[in-house]
C-alpha cells in the first residue's frame, strides 16, 4: 500500500489536518513528524489533544507502524507530546510556541565582512548518543524543579562524593537496568569514565603500591595511554573472553558484557573463573560496564559485582565504572563508580585529596530526571531508534561493502566491526601502509574519517585489518553517503 493523502476519521484530533507522506521526498517519519509539529505550533492541535495510537494512525495513513513510531518518538523527545503509560500520547501545553522565521543569509558579503573560511568538519561514523532525540524540554523541567529550592549544602559544594539524591537514584537505576544491588554509600559520582579511573588509580597506588594494571588488548586507546604510565600488561583472549592471569599483585580493567571495541561477551564459565582466581588473593577487578544500556536481542549478563555477591566469591574485590554519556549526552560529563563496602572510606579520602571534578549543580536535576521515570522512557525510545539505525547500516553494508568485509549484526551497543576479508588483505602484513591504512588515507582526502580496528591494539601493524563503524549518532543519509564513498574508494585501491 503506497503512502499518501488518506482520510482520517472525524473523531480523531488529526481529522482537520491533511497528512501527506511523499515516498520521493525523504524519510517518511520525518515528514510526518514535521507536519504534526507544525500543527501543534500553529494551534491546530491544541494542548491536551490525544493522538491516535501508532497502529491506528499507520492504518489510516497506509504506512508502516514503525514509521509512525519513529515520528512519535521524535515528537516526544522534542517536548511536543507526552507519552502517558496506559493512557496514550497527548499534546503538551509547553509545546505551543510561536513560529519563527529562519534568518536570511546574504548572498553577497557586506562591506568589511570576511568570507567564512572555516574548514568543514570531517564526516565520520559516530557511536555517540543521537542528541537530536534528547528530550531537552523535559530535561529543562528537571533543571527547573531542581533549582526552584536549591539545597544550601549543594551551593556550598558540600557533596564531594555526589548529591545524595543522585547517589540514591543511581542505585535504583542500576537495579532496574543491570540487576545490581548496592547502597548509596557505595556510589561515588565522578566527572566521567576517565575521572573514575583516575580516582581508582589514586586509591590503588596508595593501598597496593606494587600492583600493576592488566588491560584488554584491544581496548579504548585513551585508557591505555592513561594507565600505561603506571605499568600495565596485556590480557590473553580466547573464544570465551579474556583469560585471568595468575593471582599475583594486579588490578584488571575489563569489559565482560560488551568488549570494546570487539563487542564480544564473556562466557558464564569465564566470569566465574575470574572471580575464583581473585578470591582469597590481593588481586582486584574493575568492571567497565560499557554500552550495556542498549540491548536489541537477549539479555546482558549480570555485572561481575553482582555475580560476586550472589556466589560469595571476591565480594570485596570487584568494583564497577559507569557513565551517563551514552544514556544522556557527552557534554553532561557525569559518571559513577560503585565500590565494595570495604573501599568506601578509602575512596572518600582519595576523592577529598584529588578534589571534586564532577559538577555538583547538575546532579539534583539528573536525580529528578531519573526518579520521574523520564530517563527510562528516553532509553526505551533510543533502543528502538538505535535498532532501526543498526538495521539500516546492516542493509547498506550488504548492498555496498560485502565484497570486501565480513561482519556480524551486533545484538547490543552502538557500533559494529567490519573485518577485511582475507582474500582482500595485502599478502604482506608488515607492508606499510597496510590496505586499511591506505583506505583511511584516501578517505581523509575526501574529508571522511574512519576508525581503524588496528588502532585499538597495542601493536597496530600486526593487528587484524578492519573498521569500527558507529551507527547511533549518524543520520541515515550520512551513513548512505559514507558507505557509497567507501565502496567507490575501495574499487580504486
How do residues 24-67 score in pLDDT, each as one tens digit? 666 777 888 888 888 887 778 888 888 888 888 888 888 877 77
Query: Is the domain defined by 1-99 classed in CATH 2.40.50.100?
Result: no
- 448 pLDDT exceeds 60? yes
How is the chain split among helix, strand and coil, in percent rounded to 5?
A: 40, 15, 45
Q: Which residues in 32-52 are b (16+ Cβ under 10 Å) and which e?
A: bbebbbebbbeeebeeebebb
What percent of the chain has pLDDT above 90? Answer: 64
What pLDDT, in 10s, does the model give residues 140-187? 999 999 988 888 888 888 898 999 999 999 999 999 999 999 999 999
Global confidence as pTM: 0.78
CATH class of the domain defined by 136-372: alpha beta
Q: CB neighbours of 371 closer than 8 A, spacing ≥ 6?
A: 165, 169, 172
Res 121: pLDDT:
76
Res 98: pLDDT:
41
Res 69: pLDDT:
82
For residues 248-274, average pLDDT: 95
Report phi then psi at 490, rounded to 5: -60, -35
| Rounded-to-integer distance, Cα 126 and Cα 470, Å | 5
Res 306: pLDDT:
97
Question: For the chain, which residues make up each domain, given as ranges?
Answer: 1-99, 136-372, 381-490
CATH architecture of 381-490: Alpha-Beta Complex (3.90)
Q: Which residue has the higher pLDDT, 26 or 436?
A: 436
The SS3 call for residue 205 is helix
- Out of 49-53, 97-101, 340-344, the most confident range is 340-344
Q: Where are the beta strands (DSSP E) in 127-260?
A: 187-190, 212-215, 232-234, 237-238, 241-242, 250-254
For residues 342-367, average pLDDT: 92
pLDDT band per the 50, 70, 90 thresholds, residue 107:
very low
Residue 251 · residue 208 · CB < 8 Å:
yes
- 82 pLDDT exceeds 90? no
Supply the mean pLDDT for the chain.
87
Res 178: pLDDT:
95
For residues 424-448, average pLDDT: 80
What percent of the chain has pLDDT above 70? Answer: 88
What pLDDT, in 10s, does the model give residues 116-129? 445 567 899 999 99
Amino acid at each position: 500500500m503506497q503512502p499518501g493523502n488518506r482520510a482520517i476519521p472525524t473523531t480523531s484530533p488529526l481529522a482537520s489536518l491533511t497528512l501527506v507522506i511523499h515516498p520521493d521526498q525523504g524519510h517518511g517519519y520525518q515528514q510526518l513528524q514535521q507536519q504534526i509539529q507544525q500543527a501543534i505550533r500553529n494551534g491546530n492541535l491544541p494542548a491536551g489533544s490525544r493522538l491516535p495510537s501508532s497502529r491506528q494512525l499507520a492504518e489510516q495513513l497506509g504506512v508502516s507502524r514503525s514509521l509512525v513510531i519513529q515520528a512519535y518518538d521524535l515528537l516526544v523527545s522534542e517536548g511536543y507530546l507526552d507519552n502517558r503509560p496506559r493512557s496514550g500520547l497527548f499534546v503538551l501545553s509547553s509545546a505551543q510556541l510561536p513560529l519563527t522565521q529562519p534568518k536570511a543569509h546574504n548572498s553577497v558579503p557586506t562591506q568589511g565582512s570576511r568570507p567564512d573560511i572555516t574548514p568543514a568538519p570531517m564526516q565520520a561514523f559516530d557511536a555517540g548518543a543521537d542528541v537530536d532525540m534528547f528530550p531537552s524540554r523535559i530535561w529543562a523541567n528537571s533543571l527547573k524543579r531542581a533549582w526552584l529550592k536549591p539545597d544550601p549544602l549543594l551551593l556550598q559544594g558540600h557533596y564531594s562524593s555526589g548529591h545524595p539524591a543522585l547517589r540514591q537514584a543511581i542505585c535504583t537505576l542500576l537495579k532496574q537496568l543491570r540487576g545490581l544491588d548496592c547502597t548509596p554509600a557505595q556510589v561515588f559520582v565522578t566527572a566521567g569514565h576517565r575521572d573514575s579511573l583516575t580516582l581508582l588509580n589514586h586509591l590503588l597506588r596508595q593501598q597496593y603500591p606494587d600492583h600493576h594494571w592488566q588491560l584488554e588488548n584491544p581496548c579504548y586507546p585513551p585508557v591505555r595511554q592513561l594507565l600505561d604510565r603506571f605499568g600495565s600488561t596485556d590480557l590473553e583472549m580466547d573464544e570465551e573472553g579474556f583469560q585471568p592471569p595468575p593471582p599475583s599483585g594486579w588490578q584488571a580493567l575489563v569489559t565482560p558484557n560488551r568488549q570494546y571495541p570487539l563487542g564480544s561477551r564473556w562466557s558464564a564459565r569465564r566470569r566465574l573463573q575470574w572471580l575464583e582466581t581473585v578470591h582469597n588473593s590481593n588481586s582486584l577487578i574493575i568492571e567497565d560496564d560499557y554500552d550495556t544500556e542498549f540491548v536489541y536481542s537477549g539479555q546482558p549478563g549480570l555485572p561481575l559485582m553482582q555475580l560476586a555477591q550472589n556466589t560469595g566469591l571476591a565480594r570485596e574485590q570487584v568494583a564497577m565504572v559507569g557513565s551517563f554519556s551514552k544514556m544522556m549526552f557527552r557534554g553532561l560529563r557525569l559518571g559513577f563508580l560503585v565500590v565494595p563496602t570495604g573501599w568506601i572510606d578509602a575512596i572518600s579520602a582519595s576523592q577529598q585529596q584529588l578534589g571534586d571534578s564532577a559538577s555538583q549543580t547538575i546532579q539534583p536535576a539528573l536525580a529528578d530526571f531519573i526518579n520521574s521515570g523520564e530517563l527510562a522512557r528516553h532509553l526505551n525510545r533510543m533502543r528502538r531508534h538505535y535498532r532501526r539505525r543498526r538495521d539500516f547500516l546492516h542493509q547498506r553494508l550488504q548492498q555496498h561493502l560485502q565484497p570486501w568485509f565480513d561482519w556480524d549484526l551486533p545484538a547490543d551497543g552502538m557500533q559494529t566491526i567490519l573485518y577485511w576479508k582475507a582474500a582482500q588483505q595485502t599478502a604482506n602484513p608488515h607492508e606499510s601502509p597496510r590496505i586499511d591504512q591506505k583506505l583511511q588515507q584516501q578517505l581523509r582526502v575526501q574529508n571522511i574519517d574512519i576508525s581503524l580496528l588496528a588502532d585499538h591494539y597495542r601493536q597496530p601493524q600486526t593487528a587484524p585489518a578492519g573498521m569500527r563503524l558507529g551507527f547511533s549518532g549518524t543520520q541515515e543519509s550520512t551513513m548512505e553517503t559514507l558507505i557509497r564513498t567507501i565502496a567507490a574508494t575501495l574499487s580504486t585501491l
